[in-house]
Amino acid sequence: MNQQAQTFGIGEDVDSWKTVMLIYNSALKEVGTKLEILNDEFQHVHQYNPIEYIKSRIKSPESIVKKLKRHGCESTISNMTEYINDIAGIRIVCSFISDIYRMAEMIGRQNDLTVVSVKDYIKHPKRSGYKSYHMLVTIPIFLSDRVIDTKVEIQIRTIAMDFWASLEHKIYYKFEGNAPEYISQELRECSGMISMLDAKMLSLNEAVGKTKDEKK
């Protein structure tokens, strides 16, 4: 039977909190499995793992309400599914910057995923110094009587970018977004150091690869 896919936030028989959470959780499982398969296949072909680790989470109700407020929207289920893109979020942490783009390309080639948008905060860091590669994708979730295209935000970053982002997140929230300028400035400087570290690690890794090839 061919079922017509319904996009979350448009088809309004997805009305209860529990149903919505069941669907987002299913989307996280589907995308998580896909990523593990890609990583296993990569390991099999290249004897190398591009992914260090994967974390996934469902956004907390408090964060959803806060974000809706920031968007100037009422806290309703339909606003939440329509306007909040990162209710289901997966973070892929890679060793090297080159792995990030490799992963993004592999994800983009998956036929049953639709890439809705991409934000490259590595090439274009945020003013805070934040760096990461974000992909908003939808994945069809097959329920017993309908198919729901569900949004998942994938953040791909290096270990160093993840280290910076999680500390900056803690500091930012301590000051509730109003950190003194010298702290923001120092965080931006730390972000620059992280980029140098990432670049250095990548060049060392490439140098080691070349040495290995020459020995063959």
Q: Which of 130, 131, 149, 195 binds ligand 0O2 (CB under 6 A)?
A: 130
**Which of 122, 114, 120, 126 is CA-nearest to residue 152?**
114
Q: Is 8 in the site for ligand 0O2 (CB under 6 A)?
A: no
Q: Which of 7, 25, 26, 63 binds ligand 0O2 (CB under 6 A)?
A: 63
Residue 203, strand partner residues: none
Q: Is 109 in the site for ligand 0O2 (CB under 6 A)?
A: no
Residue whose CB is less far from ligand 0O2, 32 or 125: 125
Region class of 158: left (phi > 0), else alpha (psi between -120 and 50), else beta: beta
Cβ-contact 52, 94 below 8 angstroms: yes
Q: Is 169 in the site for ligand 0O2 (CB under 6 A)?
A: yes
Angle at 27 between CA 20 and CA 94, to 5 degrees: 135
Residue whose CB is less far from ligand 0O2, 142 or 175: 175
- In the residue annotation, 186 being an active-site residue is answered as no
Cβ-contact 129, 143 below 8 angstroms: no
Q: CB of residue 130 vs ligand 0O2: minimum separation in angstroms?
A: 3
According to DSSP, the β-strands at 114-120 and 133-142 are antiparallel
**Which of 134, 136, 121 is CA-nearest to residue 195?**
121
Q: Is 79 in the site for ligand 0O2 (CB under 6 A)?
A: no
Q: CB of residue 52 vs ligand 0O2: minimum separation in angstroms?
A: 18
Distance CA 45, CA 40 (A): 9
Q: Is 55 in the site for ligand 0O2 (CB under 6 A)?
A: no
Q: Which of 52, 105, 153, 206 is catalytic?
A: 153
Footprint of ligand 0O2 (CB under 6 A): 59, 63, 67, 85-86, 119, 126, 128, 130, 134, 165, 168-169
Active-site annotation, residues: 153
